Amino acid sequence: MKQTLVKITTEWLMRNHIWAFLFLVVIFFTFASPYFLSINNLSNVLTQSAFIGILAIGMTLVMINGEIDLSVGAILAVSVALSIGLQNSGLGIWTSVMLALFSGAMLGFLNGSLIALSGINSFIITLGGLIGIRGLVFVYTGGDALIVKDFSYTEYPEIYLGPFSITAIIFLSLIAFFQWFLTSTKHGREAYAIGDNAEAAYDAGILVKRHVVINFTICGFLAAISGILLSMRLGTAEPQAGRIWELWTIIAVVLGGTRLTGGYGSMLKTLGGVLTLAVVQNGLRLMNTPNYVELIVMGAVLILALGLDRLFTSKTRENV
């Protein structure tokens, strides 16, 4: 009995090694900085991680399909610009937020439909989107930053439930929901089947194209949610908001252990990846390291993650 428990735990850790890694990182920073392990700081880390984190949820979904979405940073910027721009032009706060969310979902839908209809690689379609959707933001804002007029808008992120900010609560709820979505719904199970082998999934009667369109729509919608939360927190809409965040998002997801090749991954892994990224950034800043250290460490950690993944999967899975 005890033997099996140990075995199960080790196997779980091998599959979810990011959590063991996160634990080590937390221990390290606890000793390295006296400010790190406090409720206040950890609550902050969680809030800061939420923006990339929510993008990472959509990215995980898309990546389990074996696709990639490079346009999430640009879609986030659209949602930031619209939510602030529309309410400044006289629409109510919640109408603007709804429209921003809708436009995010629509842009995701556009990406997904183009991929499904044309059969072009999602990397190319969303690379185009990354460039072009950012162009849409500039067309809307004229290249200038917008500043919110009604400052009550920026007070929503100040809502706290114990140590959890509303932003963090939304992030964690989304993680929980999509974890359930992946493991317990038909759509979620099909995602793995498609990522493993799209042709076999099609032969098994799965509507692959419709599935992919839905996932890209969800991805765009989530990017818009992240954008709304960011606009509330900042109160301004920079047209360059979220630039290269798609890269950080991919880094977080891959760090968690979800594979770019598709068919494998989970939201809990992604949560681990997102938190690790945030803890490393926060810890290094608390230690007063110059900003280049952060970039170098992130590069190294990413390579390390690939190495660990290789090491552990060769033990737990024979293929790949």
Partner 1 sequence: MIGEKALKGFFKRNGLLLAFAFFLAVTALNAPAFLTVGNILDVLRQVSIVGTIAIGVTFVVITGRFDLSVGSGLTLLTVIVVDQNNIVGPLGAIIMAIFGGLMVGVWNGLLIGYLKFNALIVTLAMLSLLQGLTLWYSGGANVNVHNAQTTWYAFFGRGDLFGVPVPVWILLVGGAIASFALMKTRFGRSVFSVGGNETTSKFSGINAPKIVLFAYIISGFATACAAIIMGSRVMGAQSTIGQGYELNVLAGIILGGTSLLGGSGSIWRTIVGVAMLGFIQNALLLMGFPYYIQWLVTWVVIILAVWIDLAAKRGKILT
Residues 252 and 269 sit within 8 Å (Cβ to Cβ): no
| Residue (38 or 261) nearer to partner 1, CB | 261
* Distance separating alpha carbons of residues 22 and 219, to the nearest angstrom: 26
Q: What is the nearest approach in angstroms of partner 1 to the Cβ of residue 262?
A: 12
Per CB under 8 A, which of residues 206..225 are in contact with partner 1?
209
Residue 296 binds partner 1, judged by CB under 8 A: yes
Asked if 138 interacts with partner 1 (CB under 8 A), we say yes
Return the H-helix or E-strand segment holding 236: strand 236-237
Name which position in 125, 168, 175, 279 contacts partner 1 (CB under 8 A): 125
Residue 193 binds partner 1, judged by CB under 8 A: no
Candidates 82-90, 124-132, 166-174, 229-237 — which segment interacts with partner 1 by CB under 8 A? 124-132
Choose one: 2-10, 14-22, 76-84, 288-296; the region binding partner 1 (CB under 8 A): 288-296
d(CA 104, CA 98): 10
Annotate each residue in 246-285 with x if it binds partner 1 (CB under 8 A) or - if it does not, as one string. -x--xx--x-----xx------------------------
Q: Which of 32, 124, 200, 207 binds partner 1 (CB under 8 A)?
A: 124
Q: Name the DSSP letter for residue 70.
A: T
The secondary structure of 147-169 as a DSSP string is E-S-GGGGGGGG-EETTEEHHHH
**Rg for the chain, CA atoms, rounded:** 20
Q: Interface with partner 1 includes 101 (CB under 8 A)?
A: no
Q: Is 237 helix (H, G, I), strand (E, B) or coil?
A: strand
Residue 161 interacts with partner 1 (CB under 8 A)? Answer: no
Taking CB under 8 A as the rule, does residue 294 contact partner 1? yes
| 154, HSE (Cβ side, Cα atoms, 13 Å) | 12
Ramachandran region of residue 162, left (φ > 0), alpha (ψ -120 to 50) or beta?
Answer: left
CB of 1 to partner 1, least distance (A): 39
* Residue that has been written with the tokens 């949602």 in this structure: 79
Question: How many angstroms separate the Cα of 57 from the Cα of each of 53, 146, 284?
Answer: 6, 28, 25
By CB under 8 A, name the binding residues for partner 1.
68, 114, 116-121, 123-125, 127-136, 138-139, 142-143, 209, 247, 250-251, 254, 260-261, 290-300, 302-303, 306-307, 310
